[in-house]
Amino acid sequence: MLDLDSLYSKNANNMKKSVIRELLKLTQQPDIISFAGGLPAPELFPVEELRQAADRVFTGSPKKALQYGTTEGESELKAELIKFEERQGVKLGKDNLLVVSASQQALDMVPKIFMDPGDYCIAGSPTYVGTIQAVQSYQGRVLGVPFSPENDGFDLVELEKRYARALRDGKRVKFVYVIPDFQNPTGICWSLEKRKALLAFAYRHDLLIVEDSPYREIRFLGETLPSIYQLDQQSEDRQIVVNLKTFSKILIPGARVGWIMARPEIIAKFVIAKQAMDLCTNVFAQMWLAEYLKTGKIYDHVKEINANYREKRNFMVEMLEKYMPKRFDLGWTRPEGGLFLWISLPSYIDTEKLLPKALEQKVAYVIGSAFYFDEPEHNAMRLNFSYASREQIEAGVQRLAKVISDEIALHDSGPRGQTSPEGL
Ligand SMILES: Cc1ncc(COP(=O)(O)O)c(C=O)c1O
């Protein structure tokens, strides 16, 4: 019998299944109201406009669209991306840009390029699980930094403290990974002050910043803040930021197209890494999206999804206020954009153990502990508000509130409840 375990590489043995993708399988039964995925609302996909753009590719340049392309990306798409970013105040040359098979590919290439086994990156605690998975698959490690109680970015005191301790312990820290605009999973948006402070921290310590911005354009409340990539351009222009963008949340995830912005030497390294992965991003999809972008309709589309998500986010917050037990130790974030909010529950509730009870009541969420590299918080959950309908949001929150209330009642009435401080 072939002993596969002895044949797998150390990297392969280090790969962990995504808890989210495993749980999502459970939540996909038709009668379950799922707040679990990170899916955009499919009824808002601009299907007809995208069909017309695809037709134009097939009639205009089918042979090119069906052929291999360059690893760097199709020039028509790159030209459109440069315009798209310039409209937001980002200065870009063609050499600063690489088209990728959506952001997850970029997230896999980052540790591939920058981490040796045992190296560290700094990331939020919690942070996007797909990044944790990618880092682990190259035997990298995550130095988690908690967010400040104001929900405006990292706790900077903890950042300095933990970084200094890591250096004292001889750890090699390579980069800081952040999602400053409406973080997955918490929905937190970094303040301008904290963005500047993180850039100064990276300048001071010669670290790279990997700024992951899939939700950047999905702002439905408040004012847009400059990205850290832009702040670097506006200050010393040291070009230490790698900015990852994608069409997945602002348009369609199915095309699997995203882009990386960075200084040319870093882009050149990404190109080599990508050559070994997939040679080039789907050429048809690139030309198709370029055709769509040429129409300028993306801007109206983003306005439309933002209006829809604002309404759904407000409604979910309203329903949480209406149905959730009112307690000092139960609360949720109120994001100004993105697709998620984050609920913190009394410390004795483990959302992983609670999930089967929620599924029994036909409602699903993602367990908070999935978003930690280590020291997980077990009493939190992530809820998505973009996918469910208004009716489903009300029914789902009502069911979830009942599951949580029952759990609190069970705790308060049990022997532990009578003796533990939370029960008082
Ligand atoms: C923070 C973050 N980065 C990257 C991704 C991956 O997106 P893509 O579909 O572009 O691969 C996601 C998807 O949910 C995400 O939330």
Residue to substitute in 246, 259, 281, 386 for testing ligand 1 pocket (most ligand atoms within 8 angstroms of CB): 246
**Distance, first Cα to last Cα, the chain:** 59
Regarding whether 345 and 371 lie in a shared domain, the answer is yes
pLDDT at 416: 56
Cβ of 243 less than 6 Å from ligand 1: no
Instruction: State the average pLDDT for the chain.
Output: 94
Average pLDDT over residues 107-116: 98
CATH code of 350's domain = 3.90.1150.10
Domain count, the chain: 2
Q: Say which residue the tokens 């400040």 belong to.
A: 148
The reported pTM is 0.94
Average pLDDT over residues 149-156: 96
Any domain includes 131: yes
Regarding whether 237 and 170 lie in a shared domain, the answer is yes
Average pLDDT over residues 75-83: 98
What Cα–Cα distance (Å) separates residue 105 from each residue in 98, 257, 356? 12, 10, 32
pLDDT at 19: 65
* pLDDT exceeds 90 at position 16: no
* pLDDT band per the 50, 70, 90 thresholds, residue 313: very high
Nearest CA to ligand 1 atom 9: 248
Select from 262, 281, 296 the last residue of a domain: 296
For residue 248, the CA-to-ligand 1 centroid distance in Å is 7
Select from 276, 296, 316 the last residue of a domain: 296
* pLDDT exceeds 60 at position 420: no
Regarding whether 138 and 271 lie in a shared domain, the answer is yes
Cβ of 124 less than 6 Å from ligand 1: no
Any domain includes 222: yes
Residue to substitute in 101, 132, 133, 184 for testing ligand 1 pocket (most ligand atoms within 8 angstroms of CB): 184
Cβ of 180 less than 6 Å from ligand 1: no
Exposure of 306 by Cβ count < 10 A (0-12 exposed, 13-18 middle, 19+ buried)? middle
Nearest CA to ligand 1 atom 16: 184
Average pLDDT over residues 105-110: 98
Question: Which ligand 1 atom is at minimum distance from the Cα of 253?
Answer: 9
Cβ of 258 less than 6 Å from ligand 1: yes
For residue 282, the CA-to-ligand 1 centroid distance in Å is 18
For residues 357-375, b (16+ Cβ closer than 10 Å) or e, as one string?
Answer: ebbebebbbbbbbbbbbee
Nearest CA to ligand 1 atom 7: 103
Average pLDDT over residues 203-216: 98
Owning domain of residue 13? 7-45+300-417
Any domain includes 122: yes
For residue 104, the CA-to-ligand 1 centroid distance in Å is 6
pLDDT at 414: 75
Cβ of 371 less than 6 Å from ligand 1: no
Cβ of 214 less than 6 Å from ligand 1: yes
Question: Which ligand 1 atom is at minimum distance from the Cα of 102?
Answer: 10
pLDDT at 421: 38
Average pLDDT over residues 247-272: 98
Regarding whether 310 and 254 lie in a shared domain, the answer is no
Question: Which ligand 1 atom is at minimum distance from the Cα of 179?
Answer: 1
Any domain includes 257: yes
pLDDT at 21: 67
Average pLDDT over residues 67-75: 97
Neighbours of 286 (CB within 10 A): 25
Contact 104, 307 (CB under 8 A): no
- What's the CA gap between 166 and 139, in Å, rounded? 17
For residue 1, the CA-to-ligand 1 centroid distance in Å is 39
Regarding whether 210 and 313 lie in a shared domain, the answer is no
Any domain includes 53: no
pLDDT at 418: 45
* pLDDT exceeds 90 at position 399: yes
| Structure tokens that stand for 313 in this block | 């986010």
Regarding whether 112 and 256 lie in a shared domain, the answer is yes
Nearest CA to ligand 1 atom 13: 38
* pLDDT exceeds 70 at position 20: no
- What's the CA gap between 194 and 239, in Å, rounded? 18
* pLDDT exceeds 80 at position 191: yes
Residue to substitute in 105, 128, 281 for testing ligand 1 pocket (most ligand atoms within 8 angstroms of CB): 128
Regarding whether 348 and 216 lie in a shared domain, the answer is no
- What's the CA gap between 76 and 56, in Å, rounded? 14
Any domain includes 289: yes
Select from 268, 296, 324 the last residue of a domain: 296
Cβ of 253 less than 6 Å from ligand 1: yes
pLDDT at 415: 65
Any domain includes 52: no
Any domain includes 66: yes
* pLDDT band per the 50, 70, 90 thresholds, residue 62: very high
Regarding whether 100 and 14 lie in a shared domain, the answer is no
| Structure tokens that stand for 157 in this block | 């005191």
Regarding whether 204 and 74 lie in a shared domain, the answer is yes
- What's the CA gap between 210 and 241, in Å, rounded? 6
Regarding whether 292 and 380 lie in a shared domain, the answer is no
pLDDT at 423: 32
Lowest mean pLDDT among 171-180, 371-380, 389-398: 371-380
Regarding whether 273 and 154 lie in a shared domain, the answer is yes
Average pLDDT over residues 127-153: 96
Nearest CA to ligand 1 atom 14: 38
| Higher per-residue pLDDT: 37 or 161 | 161
User: pLDDT over 70 for what percent of the chain?
Assistant: 95
* pLDDT exceeds 70 at position 260: yes
Regarding whether 381 and 361 lie in a shared domain, the answer is yes
* pLDDT band per the 50, 70, 90 thresholds, residue 381: very high
CATH code of 268's domain = 3.40.640.10
Determine the 3-state secondary structure of 143 from DSSP.
Answer: strand
